[in-house]
């Protein structure tokens, strides 16, 4: 059983106004990911306690091919093109699951 291919992405936003714009961009993008990407198993956006200008994404895909398909979606390309105006930093970590519990498995 594959536990999938994941990403941890940490975004640091410029200011409160940028945070509102980024959150609106995410709110417009996330429903399309949920409804149009069967290989995207988990796509969660988190705020960070005590860090109001930070957002963390946890993404889990069925495999690397599902992630690559995700990256080719028009809504994802739009998100990637627009996000920079809100950010001061982005850190991406690619994750290979080795053990654990997978919901629904």
* pLDDT value at residue 97: 82
Tens-digit pLDDT string for the chain (105 aa): 467 899 999 999 999 999 999 999 999 999 999 999 999 999 999 999 999 999 999 999 999 999 999 999 999 999 999 999 999 999 999 998 888 887 776
Sequence-ordered list of residues with C-beta below 8 angstroms from that of 2, at least 6 positions apart, any chain = 62, 63, 97
Q: For tokens 């994404």, name the residue.
A: 57
* pLDDT value at residue 100: 83
Phi-psi region of 23 (alpha: psi -120 to 50; beta: other; left: phi over 0): alpha
H or E, element range at 61? strand 51-61
Determine the Cα–Cα distance for residues 83 and 79; give it in Å rounded to an integer.
Answer: 6
Contact call for residues 91 and 10 (beta carbons, < 8 A): yes
Determine the Cα–Cα distance for residues 39 and 67; give it in Å rounded to an integer.
Answer: 7
Class of domain 5-93: alpha beta
Q: Domain segments of the chain: what residues? A: 5-93
What SS3 class is residue 86? helix
Determine the Cα–Cα distance for residues 78 and 66; give it in Å rounded to an integer.
Answer: 18
């Amino acid at each position: 059983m594959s536990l999938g291919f994941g990403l941890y992405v940490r975004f640091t936003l410029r200011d409160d106004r940028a945070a509102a714009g980024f959150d609106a961009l995410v709110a417009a993008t996330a429903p399309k990911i949920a409804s149009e990407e069967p290989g995207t198993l988990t796509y969660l956006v988190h705020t960070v306690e005590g860090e109001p200008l930070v957002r963390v994404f946890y993404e889990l895909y069925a495999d690397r091919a599902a992630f690559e398909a995700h990256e080719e979606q028009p809504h994802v390309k739009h998100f990637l093109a627009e996000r920079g105006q809100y950010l001061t930093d982005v850190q991406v970590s690619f994750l290979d699951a080795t053990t654990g519990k997978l919901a629904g498995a």
